[in-house]
Amino acid sequence: MTMLILATAVGAAFSGAVLYTYYEYRLTQNEQRVRDFIAGFDERYTNAMGQIEAQRAQAQNEITEALEPLREVTAEGSTLEALVQKVHPGIFFVNTQDEAGQPSVGSGFVIASDGQQALMLTSYNTIRAATRQPGPAITVRKGDQVVRATLWTWHEEKDLALIILNQGDIPKLDLVPPQPPVRQGTRIFAVSGLGAAGGAISQGFVADVSGAGVQHDASVGVSFQGGPLVNDEGQVIAMASRAYSPLGFAPEAVYFGVPVRDACERVLRCPEGGLPTAGDKR
C-alpha cells in the first residue's frame, strides 16, 4: 500500500512538472508572438494606411471622372461669375431708339482700342434707325457712366455695325484663334453689358459651325444682341444676334452667331491674317 501511494505521488509530481513545462512553453510562445506583433506593428500600420490612401485617391478620381460630363453640361455659378468679371470691362450696354421712337437696346464689345478711341462691334438690328438721317443718338453705358457713341459703318446682311467711342485704352476682348477650330458641342456663353455684376450671362452649346455662322442654343435676350459669344476662356467666337438668319427663317430656340471675323468684309479693315487695330475702321 505504501508503495502504491508513493508511486501515485511520484506520478502526480511528474504530471505536474510536465504540465508546468508545457505552460511555460506556451507562455513563452505567446510572449514571442506579442513581441513580434509589436515589433512589426508600425510597418503594418504604415502599409495599411498607404493602401487606404491609395484606395481613397482612386475613389476620388473615379468620382471626378463620373462627374466630369455633368460639369461639361452646366457651368457652376462661380465659373459664370468669374467669366463675367473677366470679359465685362470690354462689353457695354447700347441704347438708342427705333424708327417709331421706342427704345432699342443691345450690347457691344470692344474689338480694338488705342489711346484716343475704341472700336466697338454691335448689332445692326439695335442701331438700325440711326443709319438714317436724321437719326437718333446712340449711347453706351458701363455702370453709371453713359457715353455718346458715333455710328461709323454697318453690314445689314450680317447684322453687324461699328460704333466708335472717343475714349481710349479700353480693354478689348480677345478673339478665339482659328486653330483648333470651334467644334460641335463646344460650350458657349452669351454676355450682355447690362447686369449688377457688370454684365449678364447665359450659356448653351454650339450645334453647328459653317460658313453661314455659328449655330447655338444659348439664350439671346434683347439686351444680349450685339454682345459677344465667348468660350469658357472668354475668347470671342461670334457676335450674338437675334436678327441674323442666313437660311431665311427666323430663329427660335436656336440662334445663329455672326463669326466676328466676318466684320472684316464690310465693317473693319483687317490686316492680312491679323486682327484690326483702332485705326483699321473703314
Closest CA to 121 of 196, 173, 195: 173
Distance of CA 42 to the CA centre of its chain: 46
Q: Look up residue 3 and give its amino acid.
A: M
CA distance 135 to 98: 9
Kindly give the confidence (pLDDT) of every residue in the chain, 282 residues in length, as a single tens digit, with 9 standing for 90 and above: 665 555 555 455 545 555 556 556 666 766 667 666 666 666 766 776 777 777 777 756 664 554 455 454 455 667 888 999 999 999 999 999 999 999 999 999 999 999 999 999 999 999 999 999 889 999 999 988 899 999 999 999 999 999 999 998 999 999 998 888 899 999 999 999 998 877 899 999 999 998 889 999 999 999 999 999 999 999 999 999 999 988 877 666 679 999 888 888 778 777 665 555 555 555
Whether 168 and 118 have beta carbons less than 8 Å apart is answered as: yes
Exposed, middle or buried: residue 174 (CB in 10 Å: 0-12, 13-18, 19+)? Answer: middle
- State the CATH architecture for 79-266: Beta Barrel (2.40)
The reported pLDDT for the residue numbered 99 is 94
CA atoms within 13 A on the CB side of 105: 12
Per-residue pLDDT, 10: 47
What per-residue confidence (pLDDT) applies to 270?
75
Query: Do the beta carbons of residue 251 and residue 239 sit within 8 Å?
Result: no
Altogether, the residues listed in the chain come to a count of 282
pTM of the model: 0.70
Region of 143 please: left (phi>0), alpha (psi -120 to 50) or beta.
left
pLDDT in the model for residue 70: 44
**CA distance linking residue 29 with residue 205, whole number of Å:** 72
Spatial CB neighbours of 93, under 8 Å, sequence gap ≥ 6: 105, 106, 107, 140, 141, 142, 192, 193, 194, 223
Q: List the domain boundaries for the chain.
A: 1-73, 79-266
Give 236's strand partners.
Answer: 175, 230
